[in-house]
Amino acid sequence: MGSFAAIQFPNIDPVFFALGPVQFRWYGLMYLIGLSAAYLLIKQKTAREHLPIAPDQVYDMVVFAALGVFLGGRIGYTLFYNFPYYSEHPLKIIAVWEGGMSFHGGLLGTIVALLWFSKRSGIPVYTVADLAAAVTPIGLGFGRLGNFINGELYGRATDVEWCMVFPGAGPACRHPSQLYEAGLEGLLLFTVLWTIGRWTTPPGTIFWSFLTGYGLCRLFAELFREPDQHIGFMFSQITMGQILSVPMVVIGIVMLVWGFSQRKRES
């Protein structure tokens, strides 16, 4: 493996603006950009397709989703990735400034939050789910860029020409796996889902396609991503991210097949 950076890591300061003790970080800004873009796209889509959602309901929907991502992501990380530590230090669960968010936990949290929003607002579940799923890759893509700026969630050691040496990751040259994930989970998945959205499909198709697509992208990206140090590999060469992604692919495919078969019976 190479012991030098073929491409220089940019070493961007994670704090883009500081006002006394208050710090504004790129990672938080990426979430803000993702949520803002999601709000604008959902608002545009509901108006264009004449969906039964008022502008103020779109705002409420994004707020519910943001709360689900934040709470679910944090709780998911404590349960899936470091439960022994947090069971001994429960007050650390709220120490979000120390890092630690799980996508799979955030997904579950968002599903619960949007189910609550759907029931509260009287909007069909699949209408909400399809709208949210179609724009979620935007937040994922920007979030991975935030990971890259922070120099975290880096890849495995390699000798490819575009490898980088990440601060705090030792002298090994590594895959910039955050950028791989930004391209796969962000740009590619957004393009696929937005294309599917132009077709006439059964309700829930975009949501289940998102679930399947993200699972496949994550399974592939994990081949290049360094596992969490306190977990390592499981079952020889399998990562926790892959274990959590397999059910997404299986459930997503089953529900897509069921949805199209139902429409075929009804036609």
Q: Tokens 């989970």 appear where? A: 185
DSSP per-residue letters across 110-178: HHHHHHHHHHHHT--HHHHHHHHHHHHHHHHHHHHHHHHHHT-S-B-B---TT-BPPTTS-S--B--HH
For 161-175, the pLDDT digits (tens) are 999 999 889 999 999
Q: Partners of 17 in the beta sheet?
A: 24
Whole-number pLDDT of residue 235:
79
Range of the domain at 97: 26-148+163-201
- 221 occurs within a structural domain: no
Closest C-alpha to 135, from 110, 152, 109, 154: 110
- 184 occurs within a structural domain: yes
Structural domain total, the chain? 1
For 3-25, the pLDDT digits (tens) are 454 788 998 888 888 888 778 88
- What is each CA distance from 182 to 27, 84, 138, in whole angstroms? 13, 30, 9
Question: What's the predicted TM-score (pTM) here?
Answer: 0.88
Whole-number pLDDT of residue 2:
45
- 92 occurs within a structural domain: yes
Question: At a CB cut-off of 8 Å and minimum separation 6, what does 134 contact?
Answer: 41, 42, 45, 193, 194, 197, 206, 210
Largest CA distance in the chain: 64
- What is each CA distance from 111 to 21, 72, 105, 151, 177, in whole angstroms? 35, 9, 10, 29, 27
Whole-number pLDDT of residue 95:
66
Mean predicted confidence (pLDDT) in 34-48: 93
Could you tell me the two tokens for 57? 């309901």
- 237 occurs within a structural domain: no
Tell which wins on pLDDT, 74 or 90: 74
Closest C-alpha to 209, from 132, 105, 263, 114: 132
Tell which wins on pLDDT, 80 or 246: 246
For 209-239, the pLDDT digits (tens) are 999 999 999 999 999 999 977 677 887 789 9
For 129-188, the pLDDT digits (tens) are 999 999 999 999 999 999 999 898 999 999 999 999 998 899 999 999 999 999 999 999
Cα separation, 174 vs 164, in Å, equals 5
- 124 occurs within a structural domain: yes
